[in-house]
């Protein structure tokens, strides 16, 4: 015969198991999707076009404001200074972390999919602002470029992702947890 204490422990235990399952699923999604970025075929078919597109768009946006701005493949030149857009500069990797968190949250699937699309949009726009500022800094202040590239922008994009996730969670009605 089960005592009242056993019944009270069953709900928290089920909640802990569900949370552990969501954490495991999150880690699997992050590792699996991130590893897709390392597959040569994915790089050739998808990511190279993203890198080239980011570089070309950056050149278009910067050219009215700066002299001698060109994009050559994955590189943006501002005068002789060049910034190369690599996979870590596209925002796709950060978007994977955010999308994975949204996908494992206990919410209706329609809300999750909307969150993934909107979350990726926020990440890509923020990352594009990052690329623009880094192109300008690389041409005008290489020391500031290193500081901003290595420390400021990674922290800022992480905060933007966290804020985006928290705002999405706040605006979403969760399913039973």
pLDDT score, position 173: 82
Residues in contact with 104: Cβ distance below 8 Å, sequence separation at least 6, in sequence order? 22, 23, 25, 26, 29
Structure tokens at 61: 């946006």
Q: Spell out, as residue ranges, where the chain has pLDDT lower than 50.
A: 1, 177
pLDDT score, position 13: 83
Given a contact cutoff of 8 angstroms between Cβ atoms, the answer to whether 51 and 12 are in contact is: no
Q: Give the global pTM.
A: 0.85
pLDDT score, position 11: 65
pLDDT score, position 152: 96
The dihedral formed by the CA atoms of 108, 113, 115 and 119, expressed in degrees to the nearest 10: 160
DSSP letter (8 states) at residue 89: G
pLDDT score, position 144: 96
Residue 12: Cβ within 10 Å count: 9
pLDDT score, position 142: 92
Q: Is 68 left (phi over 0), alpha (psi -120 to 50) or beta?
A: left
Query: What is the per-residue pLDDT across 37-57, written as a single tens digit (0 to 9) for each?
Result: 899 999 889 999 999 999 999
């Amino acid at each position: 015969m089960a005592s009242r204490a056993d019944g009270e422990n069953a709900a928290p235990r089920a909640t802990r198991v569900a949370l552990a399952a969501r954490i495991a699923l999150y880690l699997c999604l992050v590792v699996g999707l991130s590893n897709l970025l390392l597959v040569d075929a994915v790089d050739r078919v998808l990511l190279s076009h993203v890198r080239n597109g980011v570089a070309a768009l950056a050149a278009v946006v910067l050219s009215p404001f700066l002299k001698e701005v060109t994009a050559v493949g994955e590189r943006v030149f501002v005068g002789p200074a060049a910034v190369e857009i690599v996979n870590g500069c596209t925002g796709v990797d950060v978007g994977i972390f955010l999308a994975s968190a949204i996908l494992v949250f206990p919410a209706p699937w329609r809300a999750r999919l909307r969150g993934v699309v909107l979350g990726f949009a926020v990440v890509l726009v923020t990352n594009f602002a990052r690329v623009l500022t880094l192109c300008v800094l690389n041409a005008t202040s290489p020391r500031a470029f290193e500081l901003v590239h290595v420390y400021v922008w990674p922290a800022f994009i992480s905060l933007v992702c966290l804020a985006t996730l928290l705002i999405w969670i706040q605006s979403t009605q969760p399913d039973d947890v």
